[in-house]
Amino acid sequence: VLIDNIVEGGGLEQGAAYWIGNAMIHTGEGPQTIAEKVARGEIDITRLPAGNMEEIEAKIQEISLETVNKIKSNREERDQLIDTLGEGKQPYIYVIVATGNIYEDIVQAQAAARQGADIIAVIRTTGQSLLDYVPYGATTEGFGGTYATQENFRLMRAALDEVGEEVGRYIRLCNYCSGLCMPEIAAMGALERLDMMLNDALYGLLFRDINMQRTLVDQYFSRVINGYAGIIINTGEDNYLTTDDAVEAAHTVLASQFINEQFALKAGLPEEQMGLGHAFEMDPNLENGFLYELAQAQMAREIFPNAPLKYMPPTKFMTGNIFKGHIQNALFNLAAVTTGQSIQLLGMLTEAIHTPHLQDRYLSIENAQYIFNNARDLGDEITFKEDGIMQNRAQTVLKDAEELLNQIADEGLFQTIEQGKFGGVKRQRTGGKGLNGVVKKGQNYFNPFIPLMLGGNR
């Protein structure tokens, strides 16, 4: 409502901070009260008399510092809890809950933590990434997932803290800041001490048809917030392999990892918070397919030695045969522990049948724990044959990725996406959702959080 009022008054190019700061000086009220008065039609925010720019900035700086300090204390609290409680060994065991009802999610998340999960991700309800606002309050209905709201974040964080004390290790909470509200959801996560966020520079524009200019602007600010909050981002390269062939398109995954890394560095996000994504998605009927998967997992680990790599399970070739599926997941787990992956999104034996039940998660966690423990140091004990199948596979993928990156450097990222080079999906630079929210900065535009979060207050 507040932003709509700014748009109606033709003031969007100055940004929200300018208008809110001006209204604070004029009315003597805080941002919440001002927003409520705008909603009731008592204030037309762009028609208030213009105040002194220095005073406006000082007023906004004051309240911005309070928020930044709250986020900083959350980060310190997380570090303290990890020091006190400890945490699971890597690869961290990552599972998903997605009932639609936050209270049911809490029951399932706590059960998963007791079974051995280290990270709980609460998938968002279908289509939330296309909403240009964030719903409010605790929610009990969703489709294929649960609404991401600040209250839902708070409830789940408290529940995982409680079960973490019980099991004697810190349980991380993950949600999703992709779509039309990347910075908003990143901010909510930072305020409620989430630990991980799905946050890809290209995912929204490729797979949700969010306008590419909007996505690249939003991913920057969302990553500034995540970087400051100590939140590990997870990128979405695994999605390319669901729409494209995992053997032929492997180089696009690596190229995207390099792109995501550079966008993250520009936003002040350190390597230790870059959960660059890749996936175990080759056709199980491919001869020597496991060697190719192992080669690519090892390649990713060697190229990004400091990144907490996020490894995604087989889904595309899961048929509903639970016995074969369990074996596919076992090979995936073996590849992960051998190559030193960091974040392991567990595959479910009932993939392609239904949303996981409690017992499905239990069996998948047991599978991972057995293999991670039984083959803990396997990777340190083996070397790869010179000029063998695996070394040659890694070299081919790296060479093809370099060629694609050179092409992007020559033609530009937007043009490469228009040609469908990532995931076989073509998008236009003026197409998709959210372009009307992209405007050139006006002379009074300022964002107080970027200098505070990128500056010496980290």
Catalytic positions, please? Answer: 203, 238, 310
Q: How many beta carbons lie within 10 A of that of residue 322, not counting itself?
A: 17
Can you read off the two tokens belonging to residue 431?
A: 């197409």
Q: Helix 322-339 vs helix 289-303: angle between axes, to the nearest 10 degrees?
A: 40
If we measure between CA atoms, which residue out of 65, 36, 28 comes closest to residue 451?
A: 65
In sequence order, the β-bridge partners of residue 92 are 343
334: which residues sit within 8 A by CB, 6+ positions away? Answer: 371, 375
Sheet holding 310-312, edge to edge: 274-275, 232-234, 196-198, 172-176, 119-122, 92-97, 343-345, 310-312, 277-279
Separation of alpha carbons 133 and 101, rounded Å = 20
If we measure between CA atoms, which residue out of 151, 155, 76 comes closest to residue 120?
A: 155
Separation of alpha carbons 203 and 200, rounded Å = 5
Separation of alpha carbons 47 and 44, rounded Å = 6
Instruction: Name the one residue in this structure whose structure tokens are 């007023």.
Output: 59
Q: How many CA atoms lie within 13 A of 303 on its CB side?
A: 23
Give yes or no for a contact between 110 and 159, defined as CB atoms under 8 angstroms apart. yes
Q: 328 burial class (0-12, 13-18, 19+ CB within 10 angstroms)?
A: buried
If we measure between CA atoms, which residue out of 440, 430, 50 comes closest to residue 209?
A: 430
Q: 456 burial class (0-12, 13-18, 19+ CB within 10 angstroms)?
A: exposed
Q: 418 burial class (0-12, 13-18, 19+ CB within 10 angstroms)?
A: middle
> Cα dist. 278→78, 255, 275 in Å?
27, 11, 10
If we measure between CA atoms, which residue out of 64, 29, 22 comes closest to residue 47?
A: 22
Can you read off the two tokens belonging to residue 125?
A: 């309800």
Separation of alpha carbons 340 and 301, rounded Å = 7
Instruction: Name the one residue in this structure whose structure tokens are 């937007």.
Output: 414
